[in-house]
Amino acid sequence: MVKGILNYAHHLLGEAIDKGDTVIDATCGNGHDTVFLSNTVGAGGYVYGFDIQEQAIINTKKRLFEQQLTNATIINDSHSNFIHHIPVDRLTRLGGAIFNLGYLPGSDKSVITKSETTVLAMEGILSHLKQNGLIVLVVYHGHEGGDQEKEHLLQYVRQLDQKLYHVLYYGFINQKNDPPFILAIQKRR
């Protein structure tokens, strides 16, 4: 069966991440990905979640509390600053990251992710990612500023060396209203 965008994003990460890994939820949003990652890495792993919006931080912490998950730290900062928040010993076990790009559902639609900070975060994560680790970007682009971010990200991932990275594009081409799509980057070595 063909998987929906978010289900496929989780499927890919579930295949790449091992119990005990450190992972990053680069855009906490409402906490769904953070909970998924927390369960995937298990008690021996750890999740670092980032968001610039206080409401996203509150939503994610509440969801983690309700699920009784304690292997996560949620940080009110840009994902581009991740390196300042993760201890070196955890960076050596960096198994994956997920980005849900666009805006926080149900919030101010003028507060959006920007390709400049996303690419900066991706470059840093790729430099620490374990072999066969994975970054998944769920690209929502049907809002003002979304097409610019989409084009910049596509330009960036197209230039990644195929000897070092596999880059996957997954999306539905017959859906209306700018459907989201996935960019997945697997580190080969």
What is the reported pLDDT for 142? 82
Res. 145: pLDDT tops 90? no
Domain ranges of the chain: 5-187
Single-letter code of the amino acid located at 148: Q
Please state the rounded mean pLDDT for residues 17-42.
Answer: 97
Res. 63: pLDDT tops 90? yes
Please state the rounded mean pLDDT for residues 38-53.
Answer: 97
Q: What is the pLDDT of residues 86-141, one digit of tens each?
A: 999 999 889 999 999 998 888 878 888 999 999 999 999 999 999 999 999 999 99
**Domain 5-187 architecture:** 3-Layer(aba) Sandwich (3.40)
